[in-house]
Structure 1
Amino acid sequence: MLIVTNYKEMPLRWRAANGVVGRTIVARSLEDFKEEGEAKDAVFLVNCDPDLTMKLALARLTLPGYRRPLIASDLVLRRPGSGLKAKLIFAAKRFLLSRADLYLNLFKDTTGLTEAYGIPAARCAYIPFKVNLDPGAVATVEKREDYVLCFGRSLRDFDTFFAAMERLPYPGAIAAVKPSDLIGHGARFSRSLDQLPPNVAQLPDDGSAQAQLRMLAGAKLVVIPVLKTSIVASGISTALNAMAVGKCVIGSEGPGMSDIFTEEALIVPPEDPEALTAMIDSAWRDDLLRVRTARAGRRLAVSLGGEAELIQRIIDKVAQAYG
């Protein structure tokens, strides 16, 4: 079996859990997919690239040489924007993005994916994600419990976090950011920086994994408020990283949170300041709840491993479907 993919980290030769053996060829262009996909046992795997997925879907419809199974992995998709132009663009994207044969998602709840893109649950499979921090650095970093940290960018609901922290006496923190930089991530950050709650600090952030680890290590709680419009696992990387560091995670109900975590995270309704306030207050004061949740989260995060383990899970699912 041959996997033709843009995922550069995949091993050149592999063995799946079901015994299927195969190889990988990395494709850097649409023409590469065509050339390498001539093998009869080839499948196309696109990782984290909606644009490439659309190009291959269109090529399969209109050009010879591209008619191989198309697998889309970890696509970050959003609901359509408002306005006629946005809706017309979305209609074209929907037509192409819904044409893959298999979708490997980092979440189980595909309701939003079906509603927005017409992708049926039958063509979806759940792949548990990975920790994106170095295990050695996690093991040696100094851990404290200084603040309630709201971290991440993708579809983050900073407004609800700020509204909750205004009602609480505890110190809070966010990574230093320009609100305008969050627009492309779909986050909601309506305040100017001089209007932040007085108990919410901005922590230095150069965008590195080391900076993220430092901020997570200093947190007593890690809050991941995600907008209710999210249809994918918008906070999964932050959640698993925080869990790996041994922190109690509070997250918004939705894909990639309430559908995959039970005792590993504390779940609140999205865009609900009152519910978030109550959960932060409870977890801050209740040592047993906080520690129990953090320990369960860490057990799960450690069990999932890193990139090598994630890639093996992808290979296993592809081989199961097409091997």
Structure 2
Amino acid sequence: MGAGWVAGVTRARALRTRCLGADGTGQVAASRELDEALRYLAATPYRHDVTPGATLAEAQRAVSTTLLWHLRVLAGWQPATGAHAVRALAAGFEISNTEHRLRELLAGPRQPGTERLHPPPHRLGALAVAWTRLARTRSPSELRTALAASAWGDPGGDSPAAVATGMRVSAAVRLAAAVPDAGRWAAARLALLVGREVFVVGRRLPDLSARRAARLLGRRALGAGTYADFRQALPAAAGWLLADVGEAADLWRAEARWWDAVERDGRDLLRRAGFGPQPVVGAVALLSADAWRARGALELAARGGGAGDWTAEVFGAPR
């Protein structure tokens, strides 16, 4: 491997210290109020964007902003292949920006004094796929056209639901192709998305998104008329996540299981010897799972603090 991989992997392994970890997340979750949790976070790797008096939404966004910064720094240390992998893994930030932009276009001009309700877009830097062009769009149809002309592809509609689903389907398919070590995560996450959309929300996927999703999940799964048939038709790469979820109404349980798997796999990848993409993918997985747990812990703190077995199950050491 070249010097670029040596530097990139060294940086990836160093980022392990930027995680809050199970103990830290438990401390945040057990806080009796949000301000107490924020005071704790002020002495952790998430301190840069955390401010006293922040709302829950602001605090959770601060955690996401810290994660994004780490990913941008990590990508900057990588050779081209490593940077491409980090960009594919960080696609959720551009999706979030695009969803906010579409809501702005539908709502019209902002009213004075609503700045806290409309945070600025995430600063993506080199992790952007098409955000510069998407940010300049002036109507939902123009936004759809911009997506169709980019690596995201046509979402199949310009409604918030079509754009959100279409971009997530596209992200999963591109991640599986670009980062083989994340293929299992991408397929399972896509199965969860399709299961929720079709069998919980009751919303049919746009044809373009359905055809794209079939690349990972298979035509039989996308054509299933019941949740039971859908689950049975899933390939092994995706079906593992829903193996114990017998009813569509219980799909919410698969979210934590997915993050557990990402964290566990990420730890294994980061431990791999040598210099190449695997430790980099592992670092992104660990940082992302840690941020997800931290955001959940903040929500518990805002509700008065979590305690007991349920807190340990969600925020304790991965199974």
Same fold flag (TM > 0.5) = no
TM-score scaled by length of structure 1: 0.29
Higher helix share: 2
